Structure 1
Amino acid sequence: MMSFHSCIILFALGLLAATADAAVKSKARVVSAVGKPNVLFIIADDLRDYAGWMGGHPQSVTPNMDRLAKMGMRFTNAHCNYALCNPSRTSLLTGMQPSSSGVFGNEQDWRRSVQIAGKPTLPEHFKAQGYTAAAAGKIFHANHGGPEGRLAGWHGGRRGFEQDSAWDLRFPQAGVQIPDLPVRTGQNFNGLNIWHWDWGGIPVAEEKTDDGQIATFAAEFLTQKQKKPFFLALGLYRPHSQWYVPQKYFDALPLDSIKLPEVKADDLEDVPAIAKTHLKEGLHKQILEKNLWKDAVRAYLASVAFCDAMLGRILEAVEKGPNAKNTIIVFTSDHGWYLGEKQMWHKGRLWEPTTRVPLSIYVPGVTQPDSVSAQPVALIDLYPTLCDLTKLPLPEHLDGSSLKPLLRDPTTKRDHPAITCMSGGKNAGYAARDERWRYIRYADGSEELYDHQADPNEWTNLAAKPEHAALKSALAGFFPKEFKSAVRPVAEIIGAASPAGSFDLALNIGDVLSAADAPKLQGRGVFIDASFDFDPLVDQDSTLLAQGDEQSGYALHLQASQPTLTVFTNGRSTTISGAALDKGRVNMRAQIDTGGVITLAVPGHSEVLGVAPFDQGFPQEPKSGIAAGQSFGILKLAQYPNSTPFDGVVYRLKLTILPPHKAPMVPTAQAPAKVP
């Protein structure tokens, strides 16, 4: 691995070359950020109100989070805009509500959203305004890469949905967000045999862990004088699961001493049915049966303490370095976490434990030490806040509002609640949180209302009480009026039918058509023409195009770098695969014809033929539509655990739905000639 100094030298040389090249090609004005403050943006993963200053758990050990919170302003009523990693981070980093971007799923590649296209992300904007944009760790959505530590796959992989153009300098390297873990997930220390949710102490030095490596990079960067103002984003992966941290953090918390969260046995009796679907997962029942509740809380607390220790190393570097007097510091989390409240584990939903996040902001010359605001604020407010504090122009697409008035004067009031979303499109539900109340309205119209002044645990749903009708109406007035789609309209994708009855679809990665909108497939075949850049480290198990489901459909995908065409009929699959691809540009053609032949060809590389499980086109109409470049879907998790959205550049992705099968003409029997 290159040293930090070598990276800086190479970066400087590359920057000089790029600058010279740009000067030749364009006479555009170069933006300078000289004299502006630096920004240090630190985001933890899945950190709920267990920062000590928030009072979420009496056994939290977070002296560094507490110290930073007292350096400037701490927000006691801060909330995420979506309680899942990808949509939360997308919202924060684009400045757009999920309802504006259309991004609401962890497997949904935010980079393909038509609503986001052309709009600068937060680091991209700072970079364009003359800042050095640097990052280490998970900033955009990413994950640990599963037992193999993959760059892609396993819920995102260590690359995840990275935006390469956002950064001048990236650790651990360009195109990678999370360093490889010394102990990878799936060890099954806890006996639950859930690969993504395991915990246990590991015999690894702190500096060798993923977050330890990030803290070391940050310390080297922050103790040096930078030539330009910088925007440094640091993503600390803990307390995201798996909860693997050095053993001493577990040893500091004797298991018998662990205090469980306060819960109410009949807490779910007064919530609507739509809010209780998580009970089908049976996680809470499993935790109780295996007597692991205290064990899980202990592991989470150990991970929080470890996160705090890494934050301490970063803060120490700031204080000892040359940038202490001119660096804005923001510390937050992407969302909270459930530890058994309402029988919930993990994240999601619209209740307080998962929407509320720690947020502290220190601004030299602006914030007052040990100041507090209880006003409702949201992560979506950070983009305009940082622009305001650094006097950068404000992009027009931002949905949030600046927190600078609150940072200057802790008595300032806000006139709108924090809004958190759940699900998307017609299924979207929302929560509004003001100083006192949380109001939840689900897509089916059912409601919850909690008075945090009298009921901080949200145990009593007051939504049915008529005296609160005006309050609910007022809070509902802040809910988004529409949920925009991240994909292109149908009319932009499907061409008119040809005289022969075929349909041509010019697809982009990210396009989705419902079964109702997609051209009919029954009795037809398909032809696919694709051209794309292939990187085996990222795209080796990705999907280019899929239509339908396991009963009727197909997928053009890559499996272990092999081009693969899989056809599904009646719950069975037929697969053909070519030779593994090399890195570079690939042209590929695939056909499933109505005569019972399937073909997969990479010109100049390989061509394979197979027999389709039908000879007159697809025997039945698929119940699912078309998706370009999406993960899973028709390729189920159990059989294709590393399926991932296609990450590279796609130059052409053309789908032709072939004309309907026609039975061959049968000659008409002729009458015998008359004998004269």
Structure 2
Amino acid sequence: MTERTFFLVRAAAAALFVSASVATAAAQDAPRRPNIVFLFSDDHAYQAVGAYQDPRKLLETPNLDRIAREGVRFDRCLVPNSICGPSRATVLTGKYSHLNGFYNNTNSRFDGAQATFPKLLQQAGYQTAVVGKWHLVSAPTGFDYWSILPGQGIYYDPDMIEMGVRSRRSGYVTDVITDLSLDWLKKRDRSKPFLLMSQHKAPHRPWSPAIRHLGHDGDRAYPEPPTLFDDYANRSLAERDQDMTIARTMTPNDVKMGGFNERFSPEQRQAWDAYYKPRNDALLKAGLQGADLVRWKYNRYMHDYLGCIKAVDENVGRILEHLDQEGLAENTIVVYASDQGFYLGEHGWFDKRWIFEESLRTPLLVRWPGVAKPGRVEGRIVSNVDFAPTFLEAAGIAIPPEIQGRSLVPILRDAAPADWRRSFYYEYFEYPAPHHVRPHHGVVTDRYKLVRFDGPDLDAWELFDLREDPRELKNVYDEPTNAPIVAELKRELERLRKELKVPAKPPREAFGDAPLSKPSPRS
């Protein structure tokens, strides 16, 4: 090799090295699309998340609180239709029930052909998976992997439908869902960003704790909500004529007094009976009646419901630990939410459905390292209708115009748009079964709620002033001094209905009394 040739080869090699280095640096500097882990529970009241600091101090949730501490706690995340299946359809589509077609848990069936954020992520190169509770009747679409509970599922040794094949899994359902979620994370294609939706059954009725959590509270007497014995005075027939009270509606099965249908092993059955039987025998011997019996039921309900949440919190911790161990945490958005709020004795109730605060408001905790400032508390009105556009913007994907929510990315960056919503539209349909809650719709602001009950046997308006009456105990609609407020809120209600393309009258099937398809299990 001549000297000249040597230098030419060396120069070419150097040029290739520089070119490769620039390309590598450019690749390293290019923003990476974040992974998304969406942790979802069923009927988890914000009152039962430690980070929300409920005065009753119902339960410590260290792993959920970690997400709040390392991310943003949203204090006004509202749902447009407070019931399980419709909420899940809203999360997927970013649309209200009247547009995505899933109105209720009785006869609705999700149209899997419509656009969803998992489909759009998948088309953009994300790996997508959903594990756990689905509750939308039709099979999942837009997922590379899915393993779901049939209907509501059960707590012990649940069946799972994995990519269309049904089989029984051994273990407690919350642990099983997390096991499957972690298995998928470990086996995924590591060259691609991912979406994992890990969705728990717990703490849904019948509130069956894991055996390890029986007696978790040491027979604690829980502080009562101030409205446990609400008499529904100063409100309409709707609040008085419902069927969701601890006093009347809870069944022996709910409070573990009757025959209990779980897939217990002999050892689990023995441990279950060892915990509940002596306490049930003591109740029967005491012969409690009236308010004393309601208090007993409330405490049993709290033991069981909160015991289910302990398992959820533990399993959230398992997911967070895996992200840490695999070096994924820094580029992964972690979201924890529930399908809606839930009553923990407020107004004497359990369940959800209402526009009222404990039902309307869901917990929402978001951790996004490098974007969301740790420990921030956000008070603006947001919603689960905003989840889909948030995930799409975070992934750099255009948001379809038919989506009705708004991306939370600016709010997570603490740069909320000046025109962020100051009012929110709510709608509920399912009537009369299972809890006899009248259909209603309304508008919510930071201070007021204007509600119209417009079912087949009731046409009534209510107005609540949340500043003066945070427990929503007094309807002030007819007070003359509120006439200007009522008029303003009615105008805003009509504006929202027009903007959201709400039909003048819901179709009959929206209420659940006209079968459209094979009914889904009721929530």
Shared fold per TM-score greater than 0.5: yes
- Find the aligned partners of 1:387 and 1:486 in 2 and give their Cα distance: 32
**TM-score (norm. length: structure 2):** 0.72
Instruction: Report SS of the residue matched to 2:82.
Output: coil
How many angstroms does 1:352 deviate by?
1.0
What corresponds to 1:146 in structure 2?
none
Q: State the AA in 1 paired with 2:52.
A: M
* 2:214 partner SS: helix
- The whole-number CA distance in structure 1 between the counterparts of 2:221 and 2:452 is 39
Q: Which residue of 1 aligns with 2:122?
A: 127
Q: Is 2:41 aligned against 1:44? A: yes
* AA in 1 matched with 2:128: A
Does the alignment pair 1:333 with 2:338?
yes
Residue 266 (structure 1) shift: 4.7
Correspondence for 1:171: 147
- Residue 191 of structure 1: aligned partner: none
Tell me: CA distance 1:184–1:211, structure 2 relative to 1, closer, same or farther (3 Å): closer
The CA deviation at 1:181 is: 4.3
Is 1:351 the counterpart of 2:356? The answer is: yes
Give the one of 456, 460, 463 matched to 2:470: 456
Alignment match, 2:314: 309
Q: Does 1:441 align with 2:405?
A: no
For residue 350 of structure 1, what is the amino acid of its counterpart?
I
Inter-CA distance 178–275: structure 2 relative to 1 (3 Å threshold):
closer
Distance of 1:328 and 1:99 partners within structure 2: 29
Aligned-partner Cα distance in 2 for 1:109–1:480: 22
Matched, 1:210 2:227: no
- Check conservation: 1:34, 1:229, Cα contact below 8 A: no
How far does residue 378 in structure 1 lie from its aligned partner after superposition?
A: 1.0
In the alignment, structure 2 segments of 5+ residues that lack a partner are: 1-29, 160-168, 251-288, 432-437
Does the CA-based 8 Å contact 1:278-1:344 persist in structure 2? no
Superposition deviation, residue 401 in structure 1: 1.1
Alignment of 1:277-316 (within 5 A): 277-279=241-243, 284-285=247-248, 289=290, 290=293, 291-316=296-321
Code of the residue aligned with 1:77 in structure 2: it is: R
Note the C-alpha offset of 1:355: 1.1
Counterpart for residue 590 of structure 1 = none
- Match of 1:84, as an amino acid? I
Deviation readout 1:299-350 (Å, 9 max, x if unpaired) = 1121222211111111111111132221111110001222332232222122
After the TM superposition, which residues 165-314 of structure 1 pair with which residues of structure 2 at under 5 Å, given as runs?
Answer: 165-171=141-147, 181-182=155-156, 208-222=171-185, 226-263=190-227, 265-279=229-243, 284-285=247-248, 289=290, 290=293, 291-314=296-319
Give the counterpart letter for 1:99 in structure 2: H
Residue 480 (structure 1) aligned with residue 497 (structure 2) = yes
Q: List aligned pairs for 1:545-560, cutoff 5 A.
A: none
Per-residue deviation at 1:242?
2.0
The amino acid that maps onto 2:143 is W
Query: Would the alpha carbon gap of residues 272 and 438 (structure 1) be closer, same or farther in structure 2, given more than 3 Å must change?
Result: same
Higher normalized contact order (CA 8 Å, seq sep 6+, divided by chain length): 2
Quote the sequence identity (%): 24
> SS of the counterpart of 1:325?
helix
Change (3 A) 1:103 1:484: farther
Q: Deviations over 1:100-122 (max 9, x none)?
A: 2343210233325xxxx753122
C-alpha offsets along residues 539-572 of structure 1, whole Å, 9 cap, x if unaligned? Answer: xxxxxxxxxxxxxxxxxxxxxxxxxxxxxxxxxx
Q: Secondary structure at the match of 1:133?
A: strand
Matched, 1:98 2:129: no
SS at match of 2:406: coil
Q: Which runs of 5 or more residues in structure 1 are unaligned?
A: 1-32, 142-159, 186-205, 490-510, 515-623, 633-641, 644-676
State the shift of 1:631 in Å. 3.4
For residues 93-149 of structure 1, give each alpha carbon's deviation from its aligned partner in whole angstroms, at most 9, with x where no partner exists: 11111232343210233325xxxx7531221221122211111101x32xxxxxxxx
1:38 CA drift (Å): 1.0
Q: Tell me the residue number matched to 1:387.
A: 392
The answer to whether the 8 Å contact 1:40/1:327 transfers is: yes
The residue type paired with residue 78 of structure 2 is H
Give the structure with the higher percent helix.
2
The 3 A distance-change label for structure 1 pair 283 and 320 is: same
CA distance, structure 2, for counterparts of residue 449 and residue 512 of structure 1: 28
**Residues 118, 485 of structure 1: CA spacing in aligned structure 2 closer, same or farther, 3 A cutoff?**
farther
1:418 aligned partner: 424
Cα-to-partner distance string for 1:511-558 (whole Å, 9 max, x where unaligned) = 9799xxxxxxxxxxxxxxxxxxxxxxxxxxxxxxxxxxxxxxxxxxxx
- 1:631 maps to which of 501, 519, 522: 519
1:639-669 superposed Cα distances (whole Å, 9 cap, x missing partner): xxx89xxxxxxxxxxxxxxxxxxxxxxxxxx
TM-score, length basis structure 1: 0.57
2:410, 2:416 within 8 Å by CA — same for their partners in 1? no
- SS in structure 2 at match of 1:448: strand
**CA separation of 1:402 and 1:411: change in aligned 2, threshold 3 A:** closer
Candidates 432, 438, 441, aligned match of 1:430? 441
Structure 2 Cα separation of the partners of residues 261 and 380 of structure 1: 30
Amino acid in the other structure paired with 1:167: F
1:342 maps onto 2:347 in alignment: yes
Residue 275 of structure 2 corresponds to none
CA shift, 1:183, in A, is 5.7
Deviation at 1:43, TM superposition (A): 0.7
- Could you tell me how far apart the structure 2 residues matched to 1:94 and 1:257 are? 42
Contact persistence 1:219–1:318 (CA under 8 A): no
1:345 partner SS: coil
SS across alignment from 2:224:
coil
Letter in 2 for 1:37: P
1:230 CA displacement? 0.7
DSSP 3-state at the match of 1:440: strand
Give the whole-Å Cα distance in 1 for the aligned partners of 2:448 and 2:67: 28
Structure 1 residue identity aligned to 2:35: N
Greater strand fraction, Structure 1 or Structure 2 = 1
- CA 1:48–1:352 in structure 2 vs 1: closer, same or farther (change >3 Å)? same
Mean Cα deviation higher: 225-234 or 450-459: 450-459
The verdict on how the C-alpha distance between 1:381 and 1:260 changes in structure 2, with shifts beyond 3 A counting, is same
Kindly indicate whether the alpha-carbon contact (under 8 Å) linking 1:222 and 1:321 is maintained by their aligned counterparts in 2.
no
Task: Give 1:375 shift.
Answer: 0.7
User: 1:169-208 CA deviation, whole Å, 9 max, x = no partner?
Assistant: 1236xx96877643679xxxxxxxxxxxxxxxxxxxx992
Check the 8 A contact 1:44/1:235 in 2, yes or no. yes
In the alignment, the residues of structure 1 paired with residue 241 and residue 153 of structure 2 have an alpha-carbon distance, to the nearest angstrom, of 35
Offset, 1:258: 1.9
Residue 146 of structure 2 aligns to which amino acid in structure 1? Answer: R
Q: Write the distance in 2 (CA, Å) between the matches of 1:251 and 1:207.
A: 23
Q: Is the 8 A contact 2:86 2:103 kept in 1?
A: yes
The alignment partner of 2:141 has SS state of helix
Find the aligned partners of 2:516 and 2:51 in 1 and give their Cα distance: 46
3-state SS of 1:255 partner: coil
CA drift at 1:432: 2.7
Say if 1:129 and 1:296 are closer, same or farther in 2 by CA, change over 3 A: same
Which residue is 2:83 aligned to?
A: 84
- Work out which of the residue numbers 402, 413, 416 in structure 2 matches 1:397: 402
State how far apart, in whole Å, the 2-side matches of 1:485 and 1:472 are. Answer: 20
Post-superposition Cα deviations, 1:279-311, rounded to whole Å, max 9, x if no partner, equal: 5x6652366755412111221121222211111
CA contact (8 A) 2:158 2:171 kept: no
Task: Look at both structures and tell me which one has the larger radius of gyration over its CA atoms.
Answer: 1
1:479-523 CA deviation, whole Å, 9 max, x = no partner? 424644999x9xxxxxxxxxxxxxxxxxxxxx9799xxxxxxxxx
SS state of the match for residue 460, structure 1? coil
Q: Indicate the SS of the match to 1:226.
A: coil
Residues 271 and 461, structure 1, Cα contact 8 Å, conserved in 2: yes
Partners of 1:260 and 1:297 within 8 A in 2:
no
